[in-house]
Amino acid sequence: MRATPEQQKIASAFLSARQKKTPLTSYPGPLPATMEEAYAIQDAALGLDGRRVGGWKVGRIADDLVSCYGEHRLTGPIFAEEIVDAADGRCPAMPVFAGGFAAAEAELLLRFGEVGTRVHDIDSIRDAIDDVRIGIEVASSPFPGINSHGPAVTASDYGNNKGLVLGPALADWRRSDLLRMPVEFHIDDLCVGRGTMETMLDGPFGSALFLVRLLRARGIAIPPGTWVSAGAITGVHEIGAGQRAEAVFDGKIRVACTVTG
């Protein structure tokens, strides 16, 4: 779907706010009513932005909104320059938008190898994955109400993404019971969420399959090395500048970051 002039203006306003780190007190135009409209805005912003996309976040659409929006998931780009490798145990500082929305989420991260042109299903998509890690998605937007107006608004501003922290690899992921792996999320040493991937629809590989189908429909290539942040496991946890976030998988595998304004 090609962006209308109004949608181009929305994309430009979000991009300007992100570049200038200036909060948006209101949505900069008519609210997108459909996911198609949201992705038209997102695609327009990508065309103006020019940075290389290194991955994509996938988020869940609330069950009571699925019939309205026609999808169970949404997506947004993660720029390569905002993907930080912390597999060595360091705790990187990740910026968020002061005066906007900021959160952090425990996520499983999948890296695509060669996707090819085949029509994938939930089983074959695993063959297109060449690395699996634990990680933290940093969600942030200069618009503080980004998550308060439905999934189309969330998707329209890069899916509310501001970065990705790559944690340690799960070496035995092909043989592990990933869905039942316990996950905890801590902010400043306080546990704010617990969960497993059993609640993630058809799981993290379902997120990868959704992404392949959607990006193909939008005419967007998926080069080898593209990351998929497969969805929040313990919830979306709001966070502020100066706080520390840590995800703990299987009681012992950890990844952490701090947040700066």
Domain ranges of the chain: 53-260
Q: Which two tokens stand for residue 240?
A: 């502020």
Distance (Å) of CA 208 to CA 131, 197, 231, 260: 13, 14, 10, 30
Q: What percent of the chain has pLDDT over 90?
A: 98
Q: Which two tokens stand for residue 148?
A: 């308060």
- Say if strands 237-238 and 227-229 run parallel, antiparallel, or are unpaired: unpaired
Place of tokens 């980004």: 146
The confidence score (pLDDT) of residue 129 equals 98
Place of tokens 């327009």: 44
The confidence score (pLDDT) of residue 3 equals 92
Q: Going by CATH, does the domain composed of 53-260 fall within 3.90.850.10? A: yes
Instruction: Name the packing angle between helices 5-20 and 35-49 (round to 10°).
Output: 50
The confidence score (pLDDT) of residue 80 equals 98
The confidence score (pLDDT) of residue 9 equals 98
Convert the pLDDT of each residue in 171-230 to its tens digit: 999 999 999 999 999 999 899 999 999 999 999 999 999 999 999 999 999 999 999 999
Per-residue pLDDT 10s for the chain (261 aa) are 789 999 999 999 999 999 999 999 999 999 999 999 999 999 999 999 999 999 999 999 999 999 999 999 999 999 999 999 999 999 999 999 999 999 999 999 999 999 999 999 999 999 999 999 999 999 999 999 999 999 999 999 999 999 999 999 999 999 999 999 999 999 998 999 999 999 999 999 999 999 999 999 999 999 999 999 999 999 999 999 999 999 999 999 999 999 998
Q: Which two tokens stand for residue 237?
A: 């946890």
**pTM tops 0.95:** yes
- Say if strands 93-95 and 129-141 run parallel, antiparallel, or are unpaired: unpaired
Q: Which two tokens stand for residue 187?
A: 């902010």
Start-to-end CA distance of the chain, whole Å, equals 35
Give the separation between CA 84 and CA 177, rounded to whole angstroms.
Answer: 26
- R_g (Cα) of the chain, nearest Å: 17
The confidence score (pLDDT) of residue 148 equals 96
